[in-house]
Amino acid sequence: MIEMKVVGLSLDDATKAPILVLRREAGEELLPIWIGAMEAMAISIALNSVDVPRPLTHDLLLNTLRSLGAQLVAVDVVDLRDGTYFAELDILLNGSRIRVDCRPSDAIALALRADVPIFVSEDVLRRAAEDRLRPNLDENAARRPTDAASSMAREETARRDVRDRKS
């Protein structure tokens, strides 16, 4: 398993879908993963340390784990099938390790909140590179990702402010 860090979020130029960009901890290798808008928002909130008045879903899950005496140890991206990535939560409970199937976007949203490492299997990295599953990714955008979810939130806030001023 290779430790990866979240570089940020970007947007697919063609589809405008959010892209989560991971980079090898000790290197320049990138792994872009296309995710949903809501997942991008959850990741953006964690990346930007945004305080929310009530727990969001990922906060709820992390709080639940902690309340049960469990500890999220790491998250692992373990497989790539037909263009879909698969992840697992690595949880320690009562001295036993438990693995829970999870979408990578949810796993990473949790990892950022719990400040635990993100790992990707070497096989997944190799297959992602070989399969060229990133046909619409501008390499420059991946190297300098914009935080698309934060941009979306700022735009919505600006629209709301304009509406409020008109009222």
pLDDT band at 159 (very low <50, low <70, confident <90, very high): low
The Cα–Cα gap between 115 and 140 comes to 28
pLDDT at 149: 47
Residues facing residue 21 across a β-bridge: 8, 32
- Beta-bridged to residue 97, according to DSSP, are 92
3-state secondary structure of 95: coil
| Whole-angstrom distance, CA of residue 149 vs CA of residue 132 | 25
E strand or H helix at 107, and its extent?
helix 104-114
More confident residue, 7 or 167: 7
pLDDT at residue 167 in the model: 59
Please tell me the number of Cα atoms within 13 Å of 104 on its side-chain side. 27
Backbone angles phi, psi at 128, to 5 degrees: -60, -40
User: What is the average per-residue pLDDT within 47-63?
Assistant: 92
Which SS3 state, helix, strand or coil, does residue 41 take? helix
Domain definitions of the chain by residue range: 2-159
What integer pLDDT is reported at residue 110 of this predicted model? 96
Domain 2-159 has CATH 3.40.630.30: no
pLDDT at residue 162, as a whole number: 61
Report d(CA 56, CA 64) in Å as an integer.
12
Residue 44 has pLDDT above 70, yes or no: yes
* pLDDT, tens only, 77-133: 999 998 899 999 999 999 999 999 999 999 999 999 999 999 999 999 999 888 644
